[in-house]
Chain A
Amino acid sequence: GAVVSQHPSRVICKSGTSVKIECRSLDFQATTMFWYRQFPKKSLMLMATSNEGSKATYEQGVEKDKFLINHASLTLSTLTVTSAHPEDSSFYICSASEGGPYEQYFGPGTRLTVT
């Protein structure tokens, strides 16, 4: 089956610093990648959708200058949390699709803790 990896799996950073999370499709070309955020004991909320080579489309209420998304290749998308604050602490999950959105494959997630 299709495999999506995320790196790092856990990261702790200090308030005010930026942190980058990578999402890779290992055995397929992902024309579209999605980034989700999950607060503790809550559901997944879509943050943005990115298509290779074009700007990401952000969901309402998600600050695009705060959460920079780059989808530079068909196998890699990155999410950079800029000037992180404790309230950005969360579980971030990416997914990748090579066709329709109903064929999304999820990564294992990255737990971000901002101290």
Chain B
Amino acid sequence: AQKVTQAQTEISVVEKEDVTLDCVYETRDTTYYLFWYKQPPSGELVFLIRRNSFDEQNEISGRYSWNFQKSTSSFNFTITASQVVDSAVYFCALIEYNFNKFYFGSGTKLNVKP
């Protein structure tokens, strides 16, 4: 079974629209970490956020915000007022404390059109 599911394969929005990327995870561990990475066409992974399982506070960083809800095992990512430079593939990932390895979702390709 997939440990991290990103059901949206590709999303297209027009600049200045808000967009939410969904991430649902599955784990039996009580201690785990969730991540979001951005992968622009150059291929390099850009770290966006890390959250541990004991911190359910939502986070905002500029136009980016994250909604972590353990009750629904979701860690969604919202970009407010999207820009063309936000166009990239975004990966959600999970590390379980006891298993020592990353599980990546399949990624969501975001196209922001001018």
Q: Which residues of A contact B102 (CB under 8 A)?
A: 34, 44, 46, 95, 101, 104
Q: Which residues of B contact A43 (CB under 8 A)?
A: 91, 104-107
Complex alpha-carbon distance, A108 and B44, angstroms: 4
Q: Which residues of B contact A111 (CB under 8 A)?
A: 43
Nearest CB of B to A37, in Å: 12
User: Do residues A101 and B43 form an inter-chain contact, with CB atoms below 8 A?
Assistant: no
State which size class the interface on B falls in. 20 to 34
Q: In this assembly, does B64 line the interface, its C-beta being within 8 Å of a C-beta of chain A?
A: no
Interface 1/0 per residue, B8-34 and A, CB below 8 Å: 000000000000000000000000010
Q: Which residues of B contact A49 (CB under 8 A)?
A: 100-101
Q: In this assembly, does A58 line the interface, its C-beta being within 8 Å of a C-beta of chain B?
A: no
**CB within 8 Å of B: which A82-115 residues:** 91, 93, 95, 101-102, 104-106, 108-109, 111
User: Do residues A109 and B44 form an inter-chain contact, with CB atoms below 8 A?
Assistant: yes
Complex alpha-carbon distance, A108 and B109, angstroms: 19
Nearest CB of A to B11, in Å: 15
Q: Which of B33, B43, B52, B91 contacts A108 (CB 8 A)?
A: B43
Q: In this assembly, does B95 line the interface, its C-beta being within 8 Å of a C-beta of chain A?
A: yes
User: Do residues B101 and A101 form an inter-chain contact, with CB atoms below 8 A?
Assistant: yes
Q: Which of A34, A44, A101, A105 contacts B91 (CB 8 A)?
A: A44
Q: In this assembly, does B50 line the interface, its C-beta being within 8 Å of a C-beta of chain A?
A: yes
The chain B residue with its CB closest to the CB of A91 is: B43
Nearest CB of B to A46, in Å: 6
Q: Which of B95, B105, B106 contacts A102 (CB 8 A)?
A: B95
Q: Which residues of B contact A95 (CB under 8 A)?
A: 102
**CB within 8 Å of B: which A18-59 residues:** 34, 41-46, 49
- Which residues of B does A touch, CB under 8 Å? 33, 37, 42-45, 47, 50, 52, 91, 95, 97, 100-102, 104-107, 109
Given contacts A44-B104, A102-B97, A108-B42, 13 further A-B contacts (CB under 8 A): A43-B91, A43-B105, A43-B107, A46-B101, A46-B102, A93-B43, A93-B45, A101-B102, A102-B52, A106-B44, A108-B43, A109-B43, A109-B45
